[in-house]
Structure 1
């Protein structure tokens, strides 16, 4: 991939060098393409081609590495909060529904899920599904899995979302009636997400990973690795293809890439732009780019100084070198954002909210208005949150004549989420894609949201979130979500300069992988579909 097609004729060697060295800008590349230079699809910004035409090979052991690893690694869906957890849990569990590569919600453990009013939902379970220990899946397992998120003692990350669940009733062994406190037509999407994976009734010890998923848990060592062997009784015909998957946690980026290129690993998550360039220069490895709603955001707490002053927040929004971040830091693997968490390709995107330009003069005006000329502000950054170190440094550079002195303090990634995230007055966060805007807004933007990153509270916003859930008319819904984005754009302290494409590296011996917008590594489910060529 990334080479010219054989039929495209002679190629200018200087041009080839520019492409392999990455010195060709995206704009120049687009000009080249429109001029008719034929290229294969592996070049920057183009979707990876799937391998559906080839017949999968059964068997083999695949070794993969995720960028997350810590003592808090978990097999409890209620506690999952990073891509490593999600990927591991999808090996062992299934949801009632699942998202496909077009972000559509499809039946999984549920054969059907229906509602006429958005409040009362009838969930019919697929018959004949068994857990890894042989027990059949029943309505009791579903009710236990969903209701535990409502128990404060569980401390579920989906506590706020589960707030909507009013009652659960087992109609019979294969049917559950779920009643919500108010209408929400996004329920099939919500139930496809990692927190709502189905566990066995009464499970308290999650170290065994007993689920219905494609792999049976052979080993789970938090902070190190998880091993799964093929589930011979998996309910999906023909899946999975592999005999065994070993999922390692490798936080060191260079170690992941080197491990793949030396043949020790088959597929790795979270590449840097430099890694992508290096991999593209080889013939044995590929880059899987998925356009996504993933973003790194600068969090300015609005409930403490200096963020409690709206003019300071606005100044920070005018100090975002958005295009520069996409072009240099992300090397084109991303899109410019307007500080709302809705990507430009999303059907509910409010296109009237233009990304604010980098404008140090306007920033200076708002800094003066905030009475902060001469002040010193510390920005906390960390490695492993893509673009945070560079973002902090760029803000420091572009703000030199604005009257404010920014100091960038790098802290270790280990412990960052518990010690720094949402606790520092100005620091960085990183949010994985969510399948619906309701989930995104409910978890990160509502006044009562468990992860309200900037401490922003807005009654009008809260009311709109709840009202939009029960609105079936798509035009009205779009208007409501547009209004919510406007409130975030104008008043919120989370600053989102860019969306980041997820980029994973893989050996070309790995087949069956393709880009999914629901998250890295095929929506964290590559192991269900991947196979190794002989």
Structure 2
């Protein structure tokens, strides 16, 4: 049986045998759908990538404000697009570890205050201009500048200077920063030219694909860069990204062959999807989190008792059961996925408790005006259902939570991180340091709750400066306690990622950096000939 299935899996991966027929034969021999799909993935990896074809991708999470400006990128579509067109100095391997990319060599001083790197020889931007150390310096300084409000600013906190000499770059920090190599994998830190002419060039890149059509909220087209330095990526000739924010429309497009990849499948329809032979159903426990975030400096959310009342009024079990069909893990108002970090062991799980919610609410002195939570399904497909479940449990506890649905168009530019109580969704990462630097340092533009301050910053920077795992864990534990008791995030669940691929797609797997292989699926997968 094993020999027969291995033989058929190999032929199927090369397009010489029907996927439907293979799955039917595997089922007849007693293999589950998941095991049979695993055989196909292994066979495809063994056969190796094939070049050519047009990859069509249907993505949830885009709107008219999408941009190729890395300073402004936040949505799933923007991340995917920047991974297609851009080069980062470091990349993430299949385990989420940093490996050299545009930087061929990188080395830290013994105290990790100084990092030196050398660019790969012959790197060019899409316009033919050579990539130099000066461009690296300009890119990093651009994102570190607080005035630019880059989502990567927290990752570069403490950076004092960047100097360059030809292909060599030296970066200096005020304090030790052993996490810097990992920070350089961030999708926003794609290399761009130093300012030219009358200002900064925002949409010139050096990556495996060249942007050809850019219709925000509708369609993006990229063509393979013939001068790309890395032959292990960029397998298809062209990538077409279609913004399809409706789940049923994405599934229909995939089933009919209009697209090859789709993100954010509805977990409530997992059984229905898994029964479609032409569709690969890829599930990953990436720890992506749905959050309802309160700005702790804005009334009435500046009252700690009101924040605690809302946390106790959240029925997490109901959201996991009814919105995620159990595909995820209960959240505890912390950005770290439960079970991923040892330092969370001393923090008790917060459960739905209407009596405690009512007690804290009365103590807060709030006068009963509606607590307006602004939500859009652009953040995550089940966000509105999760918010409605929260309103129901909060109402039962006596809290006047009101849900205000917001249109997808402009949500990330006009609502999120601007209004005092909003919904958001963030992909997970196994690195506590990277997560805290991005979302919880005072200087981070993406600190959506505005919670933090000198004490929290000091703990994060102390952890970053140390090579002692025990000290790091102790610092993270203190930060976690602060966020749990005083922070502004209500995190009901950590969601599994559910993604779909047609039978033509090979090399598509779950990734620790979240959906769409950390955004890099477009440059990593290939199509059957």
TM-score band, normalised by shorter chain? 0.7 to 0.9
Q: Match of 2:8? A: none
Q: Which moved more, 1:188-197 or 1:411-420?
A: 411-420
Q: Match of 1:463? A: 458
Gaps of 5+ in 2: 1-19
Q: Match of 1:75? A: 68
Q: Match of 1:122? A: 116
Q: Match of 1:94? A: 87
Q: Which moved more, 1:346-355 or 1:499-508?
A: 346-355
State the 1:163 CA deviation: 3.9
Q: Does 1:141 align with 2:145?
A: no
* 1:248 aligns with one of 237, 242, 253: 242
Q: Spell out the pairing of 1:490-529 with structure 2 (5 A cutoff).
A: 490-529=485-524
State the 1:8 CA deviation: 6.3
State the 1:97 CA deviation: 0.3
Aligned partner of residue 427 in structure 1, secondary structure: strand
**How far, CA to CA, are the matches of 1:476 and 1:47 in structure 2?**
43
Q: Does 1:329 align with 2:336?
A: no
* 1:200 aligns with one of 187, 193, 197: 193
**How far, CA to CA, are the matches of 1:150 and 1:48 in structure 2?**
44
Q: Match of 1:308? A: 302
CA RMSD between the two structures: 2.8
Q: Does 1:235 align with 2:235?
A: no
* 1:391 aligns with one of 382, 386, 391: 386
Aligned partner of residue 270 in structure 1, secondary structure: coil
Q: Match of 1:56? A: 49
State the 1:202 CA deviation: 3.0
Q: Does 1:259 align with 2:250?
A: no
**How far, CA to CA, are the matches of 1:303 and 1:351 in structure 2?**
29
Residues 258-283 of structure 1: CA deviation (Å, up to 9, x unaligned): 22122111111222224544321211
- In the alignment, is the contact (CA less than 8 A) between 2:127 and 2:204 conserved in 1? yes
Residues 488-513 of structure 1: CA deviation (Å, up to 9, x unaligned): 01110111111112222111111111
State the 1:103 CA deviation: 1.2
* 1:178 aligns with one of 153, 157, 171: 171
Residues 220-276 of structure 1: CA deviation (Å, up to 9, x unaligned): 233332222222332223432211111222233332222212211111122222454
Counterparts in 2 of 1:390 and 1:43: CA distance versus 1, 3 Å:
farther
Q: Match of 1:31? A: none
- In the alignment, is the contact (CA less than 8 A) between 1:186 and 1:436 conserved in 2? no
TM-score, normalised with respect to structure 1: 0.86
Counterparts in 2 of 1:356 and 1:47: CA distance versus 1, 3 Å:
farther
State the 1:455 CA deviation: 2.6
Aligned length: 503
TM-score, normalised with respect to structure 2: 0.87
Q: Match of 1:14? A: none
Residues 388-442 of structure 1: CA deviation (Å, up to 9, x unaligned): 3222222232234423333322222222223332344433122233563333323
- In the alignment, is the contact (CA less than 8 A) between 1:160 and 1:450 conserved in 2? yes
Aligned partner of residue 265 in structure 2, secondary structure: coil
**How far, CA to CA, are the matches of 1:130 and 1:150 in structure 2?**
24
Q: Match of 1:291? A: 285
Counterparts in 2 of 1:509 and 1:206: CA distance versus 1, 3 Å:
farther
